[in-house]
Amino acid sequence: MSENTFKVVSIEALRSGDRLEFACLVEAYSGQIYRLALKMLGQPQDAEDVLQNTFLKAFQHIQGFEGRSSLSTWLYRIASNEALMLIRRKRPETPLVDLTPDEEEGDSFAPVNLADWCCLPEDELLTSEGRLRLDQAIQRLPEKLRIVFLLRDIEGLSIDETGQALDLSETAVKTRLLRARLRLREDLSAYYAERLGERRK
């Protein structure tokens, strides 16, 4: 996300407790934060909890914001933590997200589905059912891949910003992004190959 898209929010005004400035911050970023939370969690009520907690924490901790990252990356960092914590609270048996090093996962890179569905026209790819499938494919990603994909490919953060938001190295972000994208490709290929088959009947 480009900060230039929005009115420039004054960090000094936020630190001084200027409520109007905070309202501007909320107005500028709440759409993106809600989208991230909804796609991460899949439930509107959970997404709303994360949205509220993100701005409550931003309110509380603005004095500690040192400007090492951009304001938007800082907000995404808070929102990502809130979303991941909510997932852990709901499923306490889930292992902590970042404990497993990427190289130990045995996660194969090898693509399986080789249907060439690129020829399908865009309006057939993006039917309401197709859009639902896009969202469902995100939900099927493991959390640690999902959050990287969402920050990088949906919210448009750079590799560096994604790493700052999640406390991950550049290499870890790139590895997880690739795995997420390949899994999504696989998932969508299974769906669109069926559409391709129906079209040829």
Partner 1 sequence: MSEHDYSRCQSLLASLSEYVDGTLGEELCADIESHIAGCRDCHIVVDTLRKTIHLYHTTTAEGASVPEVVRERLYRTLNLEDYLT
Please report, in angstroms and rounded to a whole number, the separation of the first and last CA atoms in the chain: 43
According to the binding rule CB under 8 A, does residue 75 interact with partner 1?
A: no
Question: Measured from the CB of residue 114, what is the shortest distance to partner 1 in angstroms?
Answer: 5
With 0-12 / 13-18 / 19 or more C-beta atoms within 10 angstroms meaning exposed / middle / buried, residue 154 is: middle
Residue 23 as a binder of partner 1 (CB under 8 A): the answer is: yes
SS3 8: coil
> By CB under 8 A, is residue 140 in contact with partner 1?
no
Q: Provide, rounded to whole angstroms, the least separation between the CB of residue 97 and partner 1.
A: 21
Instruction: Name 133's Cβ contacts closer than 8 Å, sequence gap at least 6.
Output: 187, 188, 191
7, 16, 17, 19: which one contacts partner 1 (CB under 8 A)?
19
What's at 93, amino acid-wise? E
Q: Can you spell out the DSSP letters for 21-47?
A: HHHHHHHHHHHHHHHHHHHHH--HHHH
Q: How far is the CB of 140 from partner 1 (least distance, A)?
A: 14
* Buried residues in 56-65 as b, exposed as e (16+ CB within 10 A): eebeeebeee
Instruction: For partner 1, give the closer residue by CB, 59 or 65.
Output: 59
CB nearer partner 1, residue 22 or residue 65: 22
Footprint (CB under 8 A) of partner 1, residues 159-188: 174, 177-178, 181-182, 184-185, 188
Using CB under 8 A as the binding rule, whether residue 44 contacts partner 1 is answered as yes
Q: Rounded to the nearest whole angstrom, what is the least distance from the CB of residue 188 to partner 1 in the complex?
A: 5
Identify the residue among 3, 11, 13, 34 touching partner 1 (CB under 8 A): 34
